[in-house]
Amino acid sequence: MTSLQLGKKRKIIVAGFSLLALLVMIYLMNSLYRSTHQFKEALTLKQNKLTRYRQKVLEQKAVKRELLSLQTTFKKAETLLLKGKTPPLAAAEIQEIISKITNTAGAKIMTVKILQPDRSSKEMYLAIPVEVTINSTMRQLTQLLYKLDRSARLLRIAKLEIRSRAGRGRLGRGADMTYIVATLTVEGFVKKMEI
């Protein structure tokens, strides 16, 4: 073989190997690109998942803070309940509160009647009703209602009936004051589970 033929064959072989090397390099680069792209996608998915987990953790912390706040508020609200463990003891506490408030307002208690609590309710708390009939002036009744509303215990006026009395008394400067008879049904609350 001549050197010219050898040079031509060599060129073909070198060109073939170069082409083969180029194809292998393209294949490797394509594989590397695909794996890099897949890695980036997987990394993005994992970052998104991590972000969602972090968000859930933050939400969980916020929910725990809110739960703690609600529990604190609930405990404070429960201090407003009557201390009596049974309906008669709770009713006695209501009577005592009403008696003190009525005396400070200057009104007179005519009758007190302890009513039966409604146990059929599915509520968590039991309302203990006490019916009180009071003889007072409008101002005294207003003071009484205000002080009942501002009481240290949670009390609710479930019913209020007001009747005017025929008798009149004298206020200081010659003005007449009309006495009224008010019948109130005052309810206090206790935990139902305790009774």
Residue 188 near residue 154, CB atoms below 8 Å: yes
Q: How far apart are CA 151 and CA 127, in angstroms?
A: 16
- CA separation for the pair 90, 131 (Å, rounded): 14
DSSP 174: S
Token digits for 77? 């609200």
pLDDT in tens, 32-57: 888 888 989 999 999 999 999 999 98
pLDDT computed for residue 128 by the predictor: 92
Q: How would residue 85 be classed by pLDDT, with cut points 50, 70 and 90?
A: confident
- Distance CA(161)–CA(42), nearest Å, equals 75
Judged on CB neighbours under 10 Å (0-12, 13-18, 19+), 189 is buried
Average of per-residue pLDDT values in the chain: 86
CATH class of 87-194: alpha beta
What is the pLDDT, as a whole number, of residue 195? 46
Amino acid 157: pLDDT: 93
Residue 109 φ then ψ, to 5°:
-85, 125
State the Cα–Cα distance between residues 164 and 149, nearest whole angstrom. 23
Instruction: Decide which of 75 and 174 is more confident.
Output: 75
Sole residue written with tokens 């005519």: 110
* Domain boundary assignment for the chain: 1-79, 87-194
Instruction: Give 139-195 pLDDT, tens digit per residue.
Output: 999 999 999 999 989 999 999 999 986 555 554 554 456 789 999 999 999 988 644
Which of 140, 139, 137, 132 has the alpha carbon at shortest distance from 161?
132
Three-state secondary structure along 36-95? HHHHHHHHHHHHHHHHHHHHHHHHHHHHHHHHHHHHHHHHHHHCCCCCCCCHHHHHHHHH
